[in-house]
Amino acid sequence: MKKTFYQLDRILTEYADVWRISPFISSSPAWTQEYPKLTEWLLALSGDEVDELQGDDNLLCQKVAPYFSVAQEILNLIQLPFCEKQPSLARSYAWQRDVPGRKVEQIEAFSAAIADISDPLLEWCCGKLHLGRYLAEQFNLPVLGLDINEKLVEHANQLAQRMKSNARVEQCDVLSDEAKSKLTSQQHAIALHACGGLHVSLLEASVENKVKRITLVPCCYHRFNQSDQFHPLSKVAQSSRLKLENDDLRNAVRQSNTASDRTRAKRKKLQSWRLGFDLLQREIRHVDEYLPVPPISPAILSGSFVQFCEHVATLKGLKIPEAISIEKYEALGEKRFFEFSRLELVRMTFRRALELWLVLDRVMYLEESGYECTLTQFCSADLTPRNILIDAVRLKAII
Ligand SMILES: C[S@@+](CC[C@H](N)C(=O)[O-])C[C@H]1O[C@@H](n2cnc3c(N)ncnc32)[C@H](O)[C@@H]1O
């Protein structure tokens, strides 16, 4: 795994200027001059092709590779084995009630991936404890879940009682010492889609308490971190020249292949309006520079583009002169969006590489701390793009 990490690290360091600079901010990134054939190919893609490439890291690298050879290297490096065991099809109705369809399949795949479970389970950031209840039933083991959200905790315990489950949840902040003290060397800690700082706290506390086994599917690496500067966990990653910030981490999870068509359409329109406003503000301020705008709810799309610009201008303390025709910026924004969404694909070519770099940092930290790790894709990316599963077992010699 170290070898893969070093190769990814070299690529991400060498091409940082390509994957860091968003074409949302800079309309013609420097690489477009260096790779004219790549730029020409991108700008000729249809909307459907862009959507397909955005949702499939392998296909994206494959298609980009003839124009940008590093994409082939990335494609080779990001291949992880799929978990061999298939989920069992025998579903218990009691458990499945109240669980959204996609979550059912993720949980069954997670369970198949960890295969043999024999120790009491502790589920970190369990939400409604769907995973914990399923595993308690399948393996006849006690499960303790931890979650900070009072309503979720209450709901989870009601669901567990209704099916007479051996699983229960305690309300707890997993960043607190109290949560850490609940981990013991006889447990198997599990977490499905625990965000950045939350799964880091699980790993650090598990190492400290010599937890027997940890099975983790990480997600949203940029969330719940203590600072804007990313601190790698492993000694290997700490010695890298690559210094990541929270914004970089966000890039590792920028993917929308499980979003509905409606959500995607709204996101595109909002981006297009934002780009239209960006061109407008450059004109008003006489400064050809991107102006950061805070997140805006898609609810604003029910109004007109003119109202949108007036709203954002107010947020930024700008006055739009009456002589300026705002309407024309809507069409200009659409044109910018067309170019942006195509040029952005080059940045996305590095997305899975960045995610794997982060996952390998966690894996190497566990290995440095006396665990043996396996890394698999526990389900297809269509079910969830955050489909990398770390399974770590504490080596007996170290106990
Ligand atoms: C992405 S959800 C995952 C839930 C569940 N594991 C699943 O896959 O459906 C993240 C969960 O973390 C919980 N959470 C967020 N911050 C937390 C904290 N500081 N301590 C404990 N739980 C937290 C949220 O309430 C939420 O239920």
The pTM for the full model equals 0.92
197 vs 225: CA distance, rounded Å = 5
Give the Cα separation of 310 and 326 in Å (integer).
Answer: 9
Phi-psi map region of 210: left, alpha, beta (phi>0 left; psi -120 to 50 alpha):
left
| Residue 191 contacts residue 217 (beta carbons within 8 Å) | yes
Q: Is 334 helix (H, G, I), strand (E, B) or coil?
A: helix
Write down the H helix ranges in 184-327.
196-208, 235-238, 246-251, 261-285, 305-315
Which of 102, 105, 124, 125 has most ligand 1 atoms within 8 Å of its beta carbon, as the pocket-test mutant? 125
Residues lining ligand 1, Cβ inside 6 A: 103, 125-127, 146-149, 152, 173-175, 192-193, 198
For 183, residues 6+ apart whose C-beta sits below 8 A from its C-beta are 122, 189, 205, 206, 209, 211
**Measured CA distances, 57 to 82, 190, 296 (Å):** 15, 27, 28
Which tens digit of pLDDT belongs to each residue from 131-183? 999 999 989 999 999 999 999 999 999 999 998 999 999 999 999 999 999 99
Quick one: pLDDT at residue 171? 97
Structure tokens, 280: 């407008």
CA-nearest of 169, 165, 124 to 151 is 169
**283-342, pLDDT tens digit by residue?**
999 999 999 999 888 899 999 999 999 999 999 999 999 889 999 999 999 999 999 999
- Residue 390 host element (H or E): strand 388-394
Contacts of 245 (CB under 8 A, 6+ apart): 228, 229, 230
The per-residue pLDDT for 258 is 67
CA-nearest residue, atom 20 of ligand 1:
173
* 351 C-alpha to ligand 1 centroid (Å): 24
pLDDT of 179 reads 95
CA of 236 to the centre of ligand 1 (A): 29
The pick from 147, 169, 173, 215 for probing ligand 1's pocket by mutation, whose C-beta has the most ligand atoms within 8 angstroms, reads: 147
Q: What phi and psi values does residue 44 have, to the nearest 5 degrees?
A: -95, 0
How many angstroms is it from 207 CA to the middle of ligand 1?
21
Cα 149 to middle of ligand 1, angstroms: 8
What pLDDT was estimated at residue 259? 73
Predicted confidence (pLDDT) at residue 93 exceeds the cutoff of 70? no
CA of 101 relative to ligand 1 center, distance in Å: 19
Distance (Å, whole) CA 283 – CA 1: 50
CB burial of 332-354 (b: ≥16 within 10 Å; e: otherwise) equals bbeebbbbbbbbbbbbbbbbbbb
Each residue's pLDDT tens digit, 242-291: 999 988 998 878 766 667 888 889 999 999 999 999 999 999 999 999 99
Spatial CA neighbour of 362 closest among 263, 221, 164, 227: 221
* Cα(127) to centroid(ligand 1), Å: 5
Chain center to CA of 85: 24
Task: Show the DSSP H helices in 78-149 as ranges.
Answer: 93-96, 101-114, 130-139
